[in-house]
Structure 1
Amino acid sequence: MNRYTKTFGILVTAAIVAGGVNWYQSAYADVQQTTPGLSDDPIVTKSYVDQKIAELKSGENSGGNSTPEDATKLEVVTIPLGAKLMVSAGGEIVVRTGKAVAYSSDSNGLSDLTAGADIASGSPIATNHLILFPRDGRGVEPDPRQKNGLTVLVRGKYQLS
């Protein structure tokens, strides 16, 4: 092998290696380098997760004074005859005892999730059906034709009036 062929081979090999390095750098140039511990770092530590869980439990990040446990808790409420139970938007009830009547301050009613139906204001509510309150200004009251009040399970914020 002569001197020029050997030099040409070395130059070709160097060009291939340089091209490969250039391709590797351009292919991975958009990978963002992050500093560990900053907010843009996708890896979190156990202490960070524990801190966020503690904030959620204390209500710091919930946007209100209810905790995640309160949002899923069912509360037994007795509604006396002549009173109304007004439930906030997103709240749910299940009528357990007594005859309930839907109340709405506008023309729309309540959502009966068990039957897949809309309950108009003044209409009876079936026992043991899950009822959703899509907006504020809606509630339930005992049927005025009965002698006793009403017992319901409530999930969410409510007001007895």
Structure 2
Amino acid sequence: MKGGVVEGTGRVCEEFSAGYYGLCTVGGMFSAGTSHLATTPFDVLKVNMQVNPVKYHGISSGLSTLWKEQGPSGLWRGWSGKFFGYGVQGGCKFGLYEYFKKLYSNVLVDHNKSVIFFASSASAQVFADVALCPFEAVKVRVQTQPNFAKGLLDGFPKLYASEGLSGYITK
């Protein structure tokens, strides 16, 4: 091994090592966080269409209404919840999938790989979605209640102060 690379493999770290899980987690955070960040304007519209379908009844008219009433920055409300929330979700999904894949491969030795992959992805998804819930709860309030908060930094404590821990479970 030279400089963290296993000779002859081109790998930066050993598969199923702590470093490997860390790289998978970071990869999941960046890929999920940035891809969801890019869709923020459509998410703002979708959430507002769900909350007020009479006012926001179509994509183009809804985007136009948001633009007129809140300006361009209104289309990006809740961006931090999208970026960090889905980043955490993606990190859990990618990192825990690999962890569970190794765990279940050792436990379910005689089972088909498809069963192991399914169980691994389902297990990782449960943890990922639970990790996303607090971010999503704040994001939805930021997007639909303009005076609630500006983002996660002021939204997390405000939500806790008004609803306690149960407020972090999206309703």
TM over 0.5: no
Higher helix share: 2
TM-score using structure 2 length: 0.23
Higher relative contact order (CA 8 A, sep 6+): 1
More strand, by proportion: 1
Normalising by the residue count of structure 1, what TM-score does the alignment of the two structures yield? 0.24
